[in-house]
């Protein structure tokens, strides 16, 4: 038993002492690889249908990306709440609260998956019509979405389970599980689409099956744990206190994700006006950008876990160093990967489609987004820092106003001017709103940290003050 306990604990990480940079990189690199593998699920779908089923099938799969994000982000925000709470209790050594939070989070993931399956199956067609999806791809898009959402409970279980493991510093085992599921996904794509001619139904089924496999592996991992994050099926229930705290952190994060996705749905609807070629090019470019984003997002996740653990352990002096380290790392990652994507853009887009028109349409987006993507990463790290130190509503408000609100305003005003009615003008709304939002988040963090330091200094003064006689 002791040997098994040591084996499981070797994946955990003490984030409250030692080198921040080294540990953040050890944490983030497997998370980057995990994110890339998750994106490969969707990339495999797009590549296979683009090469073997045609441009309409490619557009049908790509047109669903923003809608899938819209429907799932509220519930994935709950996984962020679980991550923050687990990390805080782990850092504080509160094993009983830790166990209750883990079991509450898994129950939430199952409920989230069931709700999303219902929404995806019964609401798919109407939502895609509202998004002005081109008529020639509508039926294919509806079919893909309905099959994809059958596996949504598996998707939620994996994401919540992986969030629990990340909270204690374990980013390696979720990577291993996604490797296995990713291989299954690619093999099934080839069998279903090339062998069985199932078109978009085949890639949707392959992705759903792969996500369920990843979920089964991560749940098995939690059940074999010997620490406070061990999952015991008979203990699965909602703990009221843990549930409320997860909601307090997760709901603002989820609503932020929903509104961001809603703005992207509006943008996707605007892109849809330019026809299937532009939709296909936009989808391919967005998929390439997704790999850059997921690499930067690993540092966002690292910042959340590191700040949460250190807050729980009372290591307040390390908080600012964690944020600065995260910002420097994400800036480097964003600049390097974003500009490499632009430099090799034509070749990368050629993987998704052999059509010169689609590649040209994709480059229109990639040039604008890729070169400025580091700013988005820096913005997300600041959001992660604020959530990690206990503020989830504040970054939500700033992000909604600074990014989403201004982006929608841009579409409603600038884009409507005839000479600016083009896809490139839509794409420029991203870097402009990122810059504004990043500035506001930095100012907010500096203000809140100053208030925290003042409160700590006052508390220390009160506890050391001599009693009056």
Q: What is the pTM of this model?
A: 0.78
Whether the predicted pLDDT of 199 surpasses 90: no
Average pLDDT, the chain: 85
Structural domain includes residue 22: no
Lowest-confidence segment of 75-84, 111-120, 221-230, 251-260 by average pLDDT: 251-260
pLDDT for residue 153 is more than 50:
yes
Residue 264 lies in a domain: yes
CA distances, 103 to each of 170, 206, 255, 381 (Å): 18, 29, 23, 28
End position of a domain, from candidates 206, 238, 270:
238
Do 314 and 186 have their domain in common?
no
Of 195, 211, 238, the last residue of a domain is 238
Residue 358 lies in a domain: yes
Query: 249: which 2 tokens?
Result: 């952190």
Q: Are residues 315 and 431 in the same domain?
A: yes
84 pLDDT band, cuts 50/70/90, is: confident
The pLDDT tens digits for 2-36 are 444 444 456 777 888 888 999 999 989 888 887 77
**C-alpha–C-alpha distance, residues 453 and 250, integer Å:** 25
345 domain-assigned: yes
Q: Is the pLDDT of residue 296 over 90?
A: yes
Residue 244, pLDDT score: 92
Considering the domain architecture, whether residues 263 and 171 belong to the same structural domain is answered as no
Say yes or no: 158 and 273 in one domain: no
In this prediction, residue 366 carries a pLDDT of: 93
pLDDT for 302-336, tens place per residue? 999 899 889 888 888 899 999 999 999 999 999 99
Query: In the prediction, which pLDDT does 277 show?
Result: 87
The yes-or-no verdict on residue 262 having pLDDT over 50 is: yes
Residues 219 and 256 in one domain: no
The verdict on residue 140 lying in a domain is: yes
Q: Please determine, for residue 131, whether its predicted confidence score (pLDDT) is greater than 60.
A: yes
Q: 468, exposed or middle or buried, with CB in 10 Å at 0-12, 13-18, 19+?
A: exposed
What pLDDT is recorded for position 467? 42
Q: What is the pLDDT of residue 60?
A: 75
Measured distance between the N- and C-terminal CA atoms of the chain, rounded to whole angstroms: 57
Q: Are residues 230 and 134 in the same domain?
A: yes
- The residue with greater pLDDT, 36 or 443, is 443
In this prediction, residues 283-297 reach a mean pLDDT of 88
Do 195 and 255 have their domain in common?
A: no
pLDDT at 411: 86
Query: Is residue 43 situated within a structural domain?
Result: yes
Selected residue with higher pLDDT from 151 and 260? 151
Burial class, 316, CB count within 10 angstroms (exposed 0-12 / middle 13-18 / buried 19+):
middle
- pLDDT above 70: percentage of residues in the chain: 93
Count the residues in the chain. Answer: 469
Residues 203 and 265 in one domain: no
Judgement on whether residues 271 and 338 belong to the same structural domain of the protein? yes
CA nearest to 379, candidates 318, 300, 290, 447:
300
Domain final residue pick, 186, 206, 238: 238
Cα-based angle 384, 386, 390 (whole degrees, multiple of 5): 115
Q: Is the pLDDT of residue 39 over 80?
A: no
- Domain containing 200: what range? 31-238
CATH, residue 382: 1.10.357
Same-domain pairing of 267 and 217: no
Instruction: Tell me whether residue 464 is in a domain.
Output: no
Dist CA 269 CA 307 (whole Å): 38
User: How many domains would you assign to the chain?
Assistant: 2
Mean pLDDT in residue range 364-383: 94
Does residue 104 lie in a domain region? yes
Q: Mark whether 180 and 234 lie in a shared domain.
A: yes
Tokens of 9: 């604990």
Q: Which pLDDT score is estimated for 323?
A: 95
Q: Are residues 195 and 329 in the same domain?
A: no
Distance CA 4, CA 439 (A): 48
Number of helices (H), then strands (E), belonging to the chain: the values are 18, 0
């Amino acid at each position: 038993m002791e040997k098994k306990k040591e084996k499981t604990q070797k994946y955990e990480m003490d984030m409250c002492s030692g080198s921040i940079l080294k540990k953040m990189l050890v944490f983030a690199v497997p998370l980057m690889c995990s994110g890339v593998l998750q994106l490969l699920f969707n990339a495999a779908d797009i590549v296979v249908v683009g090469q073997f089923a045609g441009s309409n099938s490619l557009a049908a799969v790509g047109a669903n990306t923003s809608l899938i994000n819209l429907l799932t982000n509220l519930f994935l925000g709950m996984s962020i709440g679980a991550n923050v709470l687990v990390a805080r209790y782990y850092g504080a050594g509160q094993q009983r609260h830790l166990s209750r939070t883990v079991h509450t989070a898994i129950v939430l993931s199952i409920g989230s998956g069931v709700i999303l399956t219902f929404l995806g199956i019964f609401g798919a067609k109407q939502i895609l019509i509202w998004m002005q999806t081109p008529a020639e791809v509508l039926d294919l898009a509806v079919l893909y979405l309905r099959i994809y959402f059958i596996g949504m409970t598996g998707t939620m279980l994996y994401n919540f389970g992986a969030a629990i493991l990340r909270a204690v510093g374990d980013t390696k085992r979720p990577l291993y599980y996604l490797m296995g599921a990713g291989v299954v996904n690619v093999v099934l794509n080839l069998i279903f689409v090339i062998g069985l001619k199932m078109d978009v139904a085949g890639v949707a089924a392959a992705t759903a099956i792969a996500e369920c496999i990843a979920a089964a592996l991560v749940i098995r991992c939690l059940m074999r744990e010997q620490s406070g994050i061990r999952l015991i099926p008979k203990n699965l229930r909602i703990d009221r206190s843990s549930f409320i705290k997860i909601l307090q952190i997760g709901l603002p994060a989820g609503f932020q994700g929903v509104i961001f996705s809603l703005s992207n749905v509006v943008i996707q609807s605007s892109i849809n006006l330019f026809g299937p070629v532009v939709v296909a090019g936009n989808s391919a470019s967005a998929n390439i950008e997704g790999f850059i984003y997921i690499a930067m997002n690993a540092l966002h996740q690292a910042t959340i876990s590191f700040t949460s653990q250190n807050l729980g352990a009372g290591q307040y002096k390390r908080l600012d160093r964690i944020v600065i380290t995260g910002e420097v790392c994400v800036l480097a990652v964003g600049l390097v990967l974003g500009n490499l994507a632009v430099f090799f853009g034509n070749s990368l887009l050629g993987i998704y489609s052999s059509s010169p028109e689609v590649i040209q349409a994709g480059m229109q987006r990639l040039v604008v987004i890729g070169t400025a993507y580091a700013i988005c990463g820096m913005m997300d790290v600041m959001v992660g820092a604020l959530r990690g130190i206990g503020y989830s509503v504040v970054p939500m408000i700033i992000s909604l106003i600074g990014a989403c609100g201004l982006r929608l305003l841009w579409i409603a005003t600038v884009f409507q001017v005839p000479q600016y009615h083009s896809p490139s003008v839509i794409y420029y709304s991203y870097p402009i709103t990122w810059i504004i939002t990043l500035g506001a988040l930095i100012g907010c963090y500096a203000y809140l940290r100053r208030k925290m330091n003042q409160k700590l200094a006052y508390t220390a003064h009160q506890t050391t003050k001599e009693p009056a006689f």
